[in-house]
Structure 1
C-alpha cells in the first residue's frame, strides 16, 4: 500500500509538472480591440471616410454596391484587391483579374465583408485584428494588425 501511495504521488506530481509546462509554452492571446478601434477611427478621420461599423467591429465603405448576385458565406468568389496597413504600406494585392477562393476559407473580415457587395461592387474593408490574423499574425503581417482592403467583387462563382 505504501508503494502504491508513493507511486500515485509521483504520478500526480509528474502530470502536474507536464501540464504546467504546456500552459507556460502557449502564450496568452493579447486582446487588441481597444487599440484597433482607435487606429481604425483615427484612419477614418484622417482620410475623411464615411465608413459603417458592423456589430462584429468590421468597418466597411461601399463605393459601388454592384448589380449582380450577392455571395453567401459559403460562396466561391473572384475578387480583385489590395491589402494595406493603416500606414499605407501594401502587404498584398491581386492582379486586376482577381483571385478565386471560397469565402469560408479566408479571414472572418473577408467572409463577412465580401457578402456586403453584389457582383461588380467595390469598396473598402477596415478589418480589426480579431477578424483578421489576431494576436498571432503571419509572415509580413504583425500580430494585432488592422488590415485595410480595397476590394472589387468580380464574380460570385
Structure 2
C-alpha cells in the first residue's frame, strides 16, 4: 500500500510539475524622443572626441569649423566665385576614415559630377563644397551625423564613421 501511495504521489507530482505555465513575453523596450536625443548626443560627443584626436596629430592644418560640426581646411586656395546651391560641379576626391583607411577615390582624370544641394551626396560634402572656388583643394572632416550616419553606405562606409575627404573642385558650371 505504501509503495502504491508513493508511486501515485510521485506520478501526480510529475503531472503537476509539468503543467504548462504561460511563457512570459519579452517586454518591448520603451523608446522615446528623449532616448533618441540622448543617443544622438552621445554619438556626436564621440565623433567630436575622435575628430579632436585626429586633428591634434595634424597641427599644421588650418582648420575652420562650422555650426554643423563640419571641419574644413582649404590647402590650395584659388580666388574666384564659390560653388552655390544649384551649380553643377566636377570634383576629384579621396574618402578615408580617421584611421586613414581608404574607402573611395577618383582615379586619373575621372571626376564625379553632381548638382550642389540637389543630389544624394552627403550633407557634409554639400556644405563644404560651398566654401570652395574652382581649382581649390580642401580637406573636409565630416562627422557621422552629416555623413552616412547610423547606417553607413551599405558598401564600404561603416555605420557611425567620421569621414576625411580630400576634395578638389575641378569645375563649376
CA RMSD, Structure 1 to Structure 2 (Å): 2.1
Runs of 4+ in 1 over 4 A off after TM superposition: none
- Matched with 2:15 is none
Aligned-partner Cα distance in 2 for 1:36–1:116: 22
Q: Provide the TM-score with structure 2 as the length reference.
A: 0.71
Aligned-partner Cα distance in 2 for 1:78–1:67: 17
Q: Please say if 1:153 is aligned against 2:169.
A: yes
- Matched with 1:8 is none
- Matched with 1:59 is 71
Aligned-partner Cα distance in 2 for 1:74–1:91: 27
Deviation of the 1:99 alpha carbon: 1.3
User: SS at the partner of 1:69?
Assistant: coil
Aligned-partner Cα distance in 2 for 1:147–1:95: 19
Larger Rg, first or second structure (1 or 2): 2
Alpha carbons 1:103, 1:110 under 8 Å: kept: no
Deviation of the 1:103 alpha carbon: 2.0
Deviations 1:82-102 (A, max 9, x none): 000010001001124321111
Deviation of the 1:156 alpha carbon: 0.5
Aligned-partner Cα distance in 2 for 1:62–1:115: 12
Q: How many residue pairs end up in the alignment?
A: 134
Deviation of the 1:153 alpha carbon: 0.5
Query: Which among 35, 38, 47 is matched to residue 58 of structure 2?
Result: 47
Aligned-partner Cα distance in 1 for 2:102–2:88: 25
Consecutive unaligned residues in structure 1, runs of 5 or more: 1-19
Query: Which among 107, 117, 141 is matched to residue 157 of structure 2?
Result: 141
Deviations 1:86-142 (A, max 9, x none): 100010011243211112211110110011110011110000011101111122111
Consecutive unaligned residues in structure 2, runs of 5 or more: 1-27
Aligned-partner Cα distance in 1 for 2:79–2:171: 11
